[in-house]
Amino acid sequence: MERNRKLKEAQVRVDTQEEKDTLPKLPIEEVDKKVEKVPQEVVKEQGITILKHHIPTNKIVYINLLFDAKVIEEKYIPYLGLLKDVLGELDTEKRGYSQLITEIYKTTGGITFENQVYTEKNNSQAYHPKFIVKSKVIAENISSLLELVNEIITTTKFDDLSRLKQIIQETKSKLQMRVINAGDEVAMNRVFAQTSCGRGYWEKISGATYYEFICNLEKSIEKSGKEVRSNLIKVYETIFNKNNLIISVVGEEKEVETVVTNINKVICNIKTEPTKLYNLEHKSKKNIEAIITASNVQYVVKGFNFADLGYEYSGKMRVLLNILDNEYLYPRVRLQGGAYGCYSDMNKDGNLAIFSYRDPNLTRTIDVYNEAYKFLEEVDFTKEDMEKFIIGSVGQLYKPLTPDRKGEKAVADYICNVTQEDIQRWRDELLSTTNEDIRSYASMIKIGMNENYCCIVGNEGKIKENKTIFNKTSKLL
């Protein structure tokens, strides 16, 4: 009992000013007020948008092809997730998959495939889904890489159902581990799928919906293998189209120009005919959802879209989340509640969520989220503390980036119509944050939590114990 009492005292104890003064501090005057500008030149070649980023890379070139995924009908969207997993793992007309894999590793630094959904600032309904072919290569092998990429995206063979089944089983196994170990991501996708077309799209190619899709394919592929193959081919033949194609090249000037000069080696044989574009319809609904898994703990997420409430993204919001994380959520959900972690997350499109990680509690954590606004209403930090939160936010938001990541960020800004002026304004806002600014967001958090977009992923017993709070329950594992 005495040990428990001392533990509780330690959990709620506030550091003294003397203890805080022992920590090293960076004067806020030393924080660079100007944001870095990533070089980007936009050119058109054969009707294709090419984004050139002249960045020192030690003769390594990063080439990304971004294909417009709005050409895919809604019912086939999950097949984009599967296409990402099978490309590069199947035979082509020129060689078997094992030879292909060997050639990729021998000639290049890697060729990978991924889906990405970009959303506009302050508008999560304006989204841009892309199927991306990512690659990197040393300068002398640029031509070989471009030919390899073209081989994969124009001549992949889908007739080996046994190999397809193997890849589907491997994909299912990886997704299972993610559901168990990253339940916060699963729950956050479900929450934001209710507030955002973009995240609704992402849920279909990466979230719980995609996992269910893969499970169904695994069960049915013996009987419906031809249908799976037919659907996959349909998506494959539709997605690789020159219309709305964006190619990003990151490297030193000579190497970038070599790529542009040889660009026909990768885009030859790709279709050019116009295709219909499809948009997801936003189906507004509010669920307090429980997803049962084989976990002994919970991942508790509540979220909302602040743009829908009339707020615009601001750099000051980054300081708001830093304060919420460290001064409110950490002591109440981590130290006192026993969760491994509890954080907030936000996107420029307006989506904001609070989530716990490996949490033994459920309703207790939800109560902490719902009462966060009360803490914000009383915020009154010293000048030194506010500077600490501001500097911490700068460190989180402006981490050093590798050359390829700089290029990817510039591409995202280009697609989402984010300007250099936007980026500078957000940094200026962050650096000028005050107590009054933080208090002004209390009503936003209060209204947002009252929206009751909520998802819990976790233990069956705990969920059934609190079943009356949910209006939707499902079982994944």
At 191-217, the pLDDT tens digits run: 999 999 999 999 999 999 999 999 999
**Is 0.95 surpassed by the pTM of this model?**
no
Q: Which of 268, 271, 52, 259 is nearest to 145 (CA)?
A: 259
Count the Cβ atoms, other than its own, within 10 Å of residue 275.
Answer: 16
Confidence label for 284 from pLDDT (cuts 50, 70 and 90): low
What gap in Å lies between CA 392 and CA 318, rounded to an integer? 10
Q: Indicate the pairing of strand 60-68 with strand 341-346.
A: unpaired
Q: Indicate the pairing of strand 341-346 with strand 48-54.
A: unpaired
List of residues 6+ apart from 411 with CB closer than 8 A: 51, 64, 66, 246, 248
- Mean of pLDDT values over 329-350: 97
- Mean of pLDDT values over 219-242: 95
Confidence label for 275 from pLDDT (cuts 50, 70 and 90): confident
- Mean of pLDDT values over 333-341: 97
- Tokens 């409110």 belong to 328
- Mean of pLDDT values over 104-126: 96
Q: What Cα–Cα distance (Å) separates residue 102 from each residue in 106, 143, 265?
A: 6, 17, 21
pLDDT digits over 376-426, tens only?
999 999 999 999 999 999 988 888 999 999 999 999 999 999 999 999 999
The residues facing 63 across adjacent strands are: 135, 249
What gap in Å lies between CA 450 and CA 383, rounded to an integer? 32
- The burial of 382, by beta-carbon neighbours within 10 Å (0-12 exposed, 13-18 middle, 19 or more buried), is given as exposed
Give the number of C-alpha atoms closer than 13 A to the C-alpha of residue 350, restricted to the C-beta side.
26
- Helix 142-155 and helix 97-107, axial crossing angle in degrees, nearest 10: 150
Domains and their CATH numbers in the chain: 41-268 (3.30.830.10), 283-475 (3.30.830.10)
Confidence label for 8 from pLDDT (cuts 50, 70 and 90): low
